Chain A
């Protein structure tokens, strides 16, 4: 990632001054989905763009090197080659933004990506994911080990007990949730976070990235997230350095939509390779 948060003096008055009107934000969240849609080639192009924002993720207790390998291959070839050709997009080098795995699987992912001959970054969740309730010492050690294994991005679960008592931490990226909660990435929450990112940028000139994760499964959802970021932050945030979508099944739905756009037919499950 190119952009880093250079940090700033902690000024808690920024936080205490923030006003969020819940019902108004809920209304905005409803509107944004209804007011912006894209169709036809716009939709296809936007969906391909969405692919480049995906942190292709597997965070299962039963992950092994074989399914990690499959995931990495899918990350390199997210959309069937012939479909990309039909759209004249085959030479754009479209891959997902990263693959995202547990720390213990970083090694497998790095190996698999190297074998596939690409430099897609490996992101690792770390620091006692998903609860974050472990000692600082083991948290730091976990990060060190993941980096040692070749992870270049770390999704840190902040210690929420500190947040709830007003002791804040800084970051380069903020993520809606771990994706393991009962409620994950929702529009109202995202709107509040995006506005905070914009305010921070206006105040300090630092651009913080944004990653919604969990529950984003359909191509239509991903389009709504893109337009949300475009509307609230602008086009400058629509690049993998500043925007990621954490998802596992989203990619296959996007591929199905692209298939439909190109061929005019709805794909059967076996028409598209699994990840």
Chain B
């Protein structure tokens, strides 16, 4: 059963196209159906899909063994391959057929047969809408429609299973378990199935919500609203096990959604999302506030949505901040000198940060799993850039190794691409440390939010003439800027950051090394 995770591709020879559509470019299997006017539902057995031996239909069905579980399934599986075993039960998948040569996916218009219906060979079981027309699709086999995997109104790619057909009543629960597995995307209890033995591992016990069909109109108790019933069928929720919270104890759509553990308002356009395992960094969705009367609501662009997501994710990281005042007179002098050569302040700061990071690798590290340090081999400085309607962080790669002239050239290219929205993913997502500079606006200090996947971010304020007293008590006026670094305290501790900042300050205050 677990092998069912492997579906035949439309191009696979195992996948039978309706005979009349176009001539199959492969040898027809022995029991190929005689041509009919109506295309038939394509039935095949996934476990055997990759078996090299010539197959008959009986051999290509799933061994009934799976429900007994006493004999190691793998043994029986091999038996089956030797063709000696008596097949006792079959569960077949009904696939989305290719109704035209250009069809890549089909929409289920309606199921002529419902779950629990017994169908005979040649019966129309489903109406499929292709890119050209609606067509009735027949089944090749007798059996019971055990589980509908793709509901009416939903689409599936050609070749994807859309329903399971059980040969007899006994196989229905088995098929339902399989359906559950399929709808979870990958088998969860069983390991992935690269080998035959693993492929035939016993199935997980049928999960609780799997239920025989048609309990819907069981009685007047457990009244469910029309939409609740539809949802229950779609998500395979047993109405008898749901407690209604609606008026008069009625089961409402919300009750079903709660029972199926799905987000309300999930549109049926997408297949029911698999129940996501709660991830460590999962952050609850922010509650939606009531609308403000008269306000204009503008949905996020993709970039804005990405920013929003990243910012919310940062809340899962225990961040702390350390500030440091730095005298920039010499840096400013240097800047005046290199400016005609196209070097910007941003590049100078990035280079300084990169040089400091080289001495403090932990600040360039990141914490990816909450359990370990990930030391990055490169020092890639991401620099936050405001672009029209958003924010992006082009990355100066290997900023410690390249000289400032080369970095400046790279930077110019990156900014150009960023404005044209042509940055490649590795050009904005490969940063190991981020620099954010608002000094040009006159901001004297600010505080940055740590981007996911990085250990620290530096916020640089404006450099301003400030009266400073030196250690001998002499006052003088120097240009001073405040930098503020936000870091992930799981890996970067206060002293680490302080030491890093000290190094950074030294480089900035004596910037000759930047030009080396």
Tell me whether A and B are bound partners: no
Using CB atoms and an 8 Å cutoff, list the residues of chain B in contact with chain A.
none
Using CB atoms and an 8 Å cutoff, list the residues of chain A in contact with chain B.
none
